[in-house]
Every structure is written in C-alpha cells, then in structure tokens.
Amino acid sequence: VRAFESLGLRSEGGRLLVLDQTQLPDREVWLDGGDPDAMVEHIRALRVRGAPLIGVAAAMSVGWFAEHGASEKDVRAAAARLRAARPTAVNLMAAIDRMLSAAAQGFDADVLVAEAAAIADEDVALCEGMAAYGGRLLQDGDGVLTHCNTGGLATAGVGTALGVVRRAAESGKRLHVYVDETRPLLQGARLTTWELERYGIPYTLITDSMAPIVMRAGRVQRVLVGADRIARNGDVANKVGTYAVAVAAHHHGIPFHPVAPWTTVDLGCRDGSEIPIEERQPDEVRGVKGSFGAVRWSPGASAVYNPAFDVTPAELVTALVLDRGIVTSGELRAGGLERLAAPAAAVRAG
Ligand code: MRU
C-alpha cells in the first residue's frame, strides 16, 4: 500500500494501520487492518468508522490483500465481505465498486494499490471542497451545533461538518461548537471533543436531549452534521439523533445543513425509505463500554430497539453542503441532486 497518513488511518512500511476509535479519548492504539477479514471486524466494531473513512479503509485493505499475493478470486470474495460490513454508508459500497471495476480491467495488484491511493487522495480533496463551500455559511462569533463525529477521524481528510468548522476557525472566525454526546456510542462525547481539543476550538459538550435548550437560548446559529447516505430527493440518513436535531432546528428557525462528499449521494435511492438502516446489538443501549470500562444499567434482557441511523426528511434540510456546491431545499425539490450529477451542471457557488 502506498504511504498515507490521516488522523485515523495510516499506511507505512507495507502495513495498513487503523486507529482504534473505541479506545479514544484515553488511549491511542493502532491496529493492523491490511487483512480484509481483520478490516471487516474493525469496521463492524466501529474501531474504524465514519462513512468516507470506512470506504477508504476498505479500498486500501483490498489493495493490501492483492499486493500480498491474494488471487483474483480471493480478492473479489474479500471485497464482497468488506462491502457488506456495514449497510448504511454508501461510501463503502462506492469505494469497493471502484476497486472491483479497477480489477476488471485486468487483475493487477499495482493497479489496485494505485486505485485505493486515488480514493484516499480524492477523499482529502472532497473534504477541502466541502470546507470551502460550508465556510461561507459561517460568521465570526457563530455557535455551531454538531452531532456524532464528522472530522478527521471520520474521513481521510479534514472532515465533513467538522472540517468546515476547523477550516473556518483556522481562517480566523471565532466559533463555538455545541457537541451532542451522541447516544448510544458517544462519538460526539469521545471523538469530536478529542478532535476539538487538538485543534484548540472552543466547545461545550451537551447530552443529545439538551440541544433544543441551547437552540432556544440563542446560542446556536447553525447546525452542521454529516451524512451516511443522501437519497435522490435530498432525504438524509445520518447517525441516530440527527432527525431530532433537525426537528428542533426547524422549530427554532435555525439553518440545518448536512455536509457530505459526492460519494455519500445515492441517486439509486429515490427517497429515504429506500436507505437500509443498520440495527446494532441491544447491549449498546442497555449500557455503555469504552476506554473507561463497561457498565450495564438496564435489566440484561431488556427489549431494545437500536437503529444506528435515522433519516431526516429533505423538507427539514435548509441546504446540503457538498464538495460540488450548496444545494438549497428549493433546489432539492426541483431535482437539484440529479442536475448536480450531470458533468456540465451549473453549480451554485453558495
Ligand atoms: O456509526 P458511525 O460512527 O460510523 O456513524 C458516523 C456518522 O453518522 C457520521 O455523521 C457520518 O458517517 C458522516 S461523517 C463524515
């Protein structure tokens, strides 16, 4: 694998390494992820996570496997297992499909390694595109509410929603981030806070149910979240809890923006009802575990419903921030995503 380094993924000296995000914020442990079956487990366990990053990591694992002598048949079978590791983030399927089409040109490990490197490099560039468009929406002094983790840990680059915040802060805008803890797996409380500490961006951690209070108090001027899959009509699947944030933002008249690369758009899904939603283990809701230990607070056999994502209807989206431009709710209603897909699309510059 070609040398690459991001906050959560690294390749060096023939090894592909992932930062174990379940150990953050207390421990920075890097794990081998070259072997596709190890990578499948890392992705399922959310050791490596975030829609764009799982696509990049899976593609690199395919490249690593081919480079280490796997046959075309074994590489294709491994690619299929990686593609199915998590069902909602379409970036994973898009990245693997790209690797499979590269393999179809004539099976060559060098080609696969180069394709995986291209997918990673492109993700870095897509993040900068989103940051450029999204940054125009932020004013000096703004409070920004965010959900889950959408930064350098969730992408190969600077991030989606959190990348917008980071680049805007670096350009001199004074921002304050309200970080939803993000039940049940606490990506906000564990990971977004960890990143914001590193960048020196001021933030306040709140529980998910506190979001409407800070909105009502006038402390939030804009909501920026990520996305795992965006349907053709602009419905957005993202970390569970996003829908509630969108409803609260709508009630308080606060602009709500999913921020995503084009690799998150799935024109094959007509609307959100066609997006597969991952359901996870009941124990994630019965208690919590992490670098701080494990605890269960409900009866061990409690009936649980644990969808990992929800769908925010397009009508609650003020505008999508994509690397290709900003798409307002009016444009979404007029088929804005399909128009943006066309090569000669007239992109609204925000
Ligand atoms: O289950 P996760 O932690 O992988 O979910 C992540 C999210 O929902 C993010 O908001 C999304 O992947 C976009 S982040 C760039």
pLDDT digits (tens, 9 = 90+) for 58-72: 999 999 999 999 999
What integer pLDDT is reported at residue 343 of this predicted model? 60
CA–centroid distance, 238 to ligand 1, in Å, is 7
- Residue from 228, 235, 266, 310 carrying the catalytic annotation: 228
pLDDT band with cut points at 50, 70 and 90 for residue 345: very low
Q: Kindly give the residue spans of alpha helices, DSSP state H, lying in 252-335.
A: 283-286, 329-333
228 included as an active-site residue:
yes
263 lines ligand 1 (CB under 6 A): no
120 touches 307 (CB < 8 A): no
What integer pLDDT is reported at residue 57 of this predicted model? 98
From 9, 148, 242, 322, the mutation candidate for ligand 1 (largest count of ligand atoms within 8 A of CB) is 148
Nearest one of 278, 42, 290 to 190, comparing CA atoms:
290
146 lines ligand 1 (CB under 6 A): no
Q: Put residue 335 in one of left, alpha, beta given phi > 0 → left and psi -120 to 50 → alpha.
A: left
Specify the ligand 1 atom closest to the Cα of 89.
Answer: 12
CA–centroid distance, 28 to ligand 1, in Å, is 20
Phi–psi pair at 146, nearest 5 degrees: -135, 160
155 lines ligand 1 (CB under 6 A): yes
The vertex-273 CA angle with 265 and 256, nearest 5°, equals: 55
- Six token digits for residue 208: 């998910």
What integer pLDDT is reported at residue 291 of this predicted model? 86
228 lines ligand 1 (CB under 6 A): yes
Whether residue 159 is predicted with pLDDT greater than 70 in this model: the reply is yes
CA distances to 30, 49, 183, 274 from 23, rounded to whole Å, are 10, 13, 17, 33
Grouping H, G, I as helix, E, B as strand and the rest as coil, residue 217 is coil
Grouping H, G, I as helix, E, B as strand and the rest as coil, residue 41 is helix
- 12 alpha-carbon distance from chain centroid: 24
Task: Tell me which of 78-92, 221-235, 271-285, 333-347 is least confident.
Answer: 333-347
Specify the ligand 1 atom closest to the Cα of 160.
Answer: 15
Q: What is the pLDDT of residues 284-323, one digit of tens each?
A: 999 999 888 899 999 999 999 999 999 999 999 999 999 9
Specify the ligand 1 atom closest to the Cα of 264.
Answer: 13
Grouping H, G, I as helix, E, B as strand and the rest as coil, residue 144 is strand
Instruction: Please report, in angstroms and rounded to a whole number, the separation of the first and last CA atoms in the chain.
Output: 37
Q: What percent of the chain has pLDDT over 90?
A: 95
The overall average pLDDT reported for the chain is 96
Instruction: Give the separation between CA 224 and CA 246, rounded to whole angstroms.
Output: 10
**β-bridge partners, 325:** 322
Burial class of residue 132 in the structure, from the number of CB atoms within 10 Å of its CB (0-12 exposed, 13-18 middle, 19+ buried): middle
What integer pLDDT is reported at residue 342 of this predicted model? 76
Residue with tokens 């590489």, as numbered in its chain: 75
22 lines ligand 1 (CB under 6 A): no
CA–centroid distance, 217 to ligand 1, in Å, is 27
Closest CA to ligand 1's atom 14: 150
Task: Tell me which of 23-27, 130-134, 186-190, 338-342 is least confident.
Answer: 338-342
CA distances to 56, 146, 205, 303 from 178, rounded to whole Å, are 28, 6, 6, 32
Instruction: Count the residues in the chain.
Output: 350
Instruction: Give the separation between CA 257 and CA 124, rounded to whole angstroms.
Output: 20
Specify the ligand 1 atom closest to the Cα of 54.
Answer: 4
Grouping H, G, I as helix, E, B as strand and the rest as coil, residue 260 is strand
87 lines ligand 1 (CB under 6 A): no
CA–centroid distance, 226 to ligand 1, in Å, is 7
Instruction: Give the separation between CA 347 and CA 339, rounded to whole angstroms.
Output: 9
CA–centroid distance, 137 to ligand 1, in Å, is 22
127 touches 155 (CB < 8 A): yes
Closest CA to ligand 1's atom 13: 226
From 54, 187, 279, 321, the mutation candidate for ligand 1 (largest count of ligand atoms within 8 A of CB) is 187
Nearest one of 121, 84, 116 to 99, comparing CA atoms:
116
8 lines ligand 1 (CB under 6 A): no
Instruction: Give the separation between CA 325 and CA 30, rounded to whole angstroms.
Output: 35
Q: What is the pLDDT of residues 195-253, one digit of tens each?
A: 999 999 999 999 999 999 999 999 999 999 999 999 999 999 999 999 999 999 999 99
CA–centroid distance, 117 to ligand 1, in Å, is 22
- Six token digits for residue 8: 């959560």
Instruction: Give the separation between CA 10 and CA 179, rounded to whole angstroms.
Output: 27
Nearest one of 121, 320, 339, 128 to 226, comparing CA atoms:
320
- Six token digits for residue 53: 């990053």
Instruction: Give the separation between CA 244 and CA 316, rounded to whole angstroms.
Output: 10
> Average pLDDT of 265-276?
98
CA–centroid distance, 196 to ligand 1, in Å, is 17
Q: How many CA atoms lie within 13 A of 242 on its CB side?
A: 33
User: Parallel, antiparallel, or unpaired for β 143-146 and 222-225?
Assistant: parallel
What integer pLDDT is reported at residue 315 of this predicted model? 97
- The DSSP symbol for 246 reads H
Q: Is the peptide bond before 25 cis (omega within 30 degrees of 0)?
A: yes
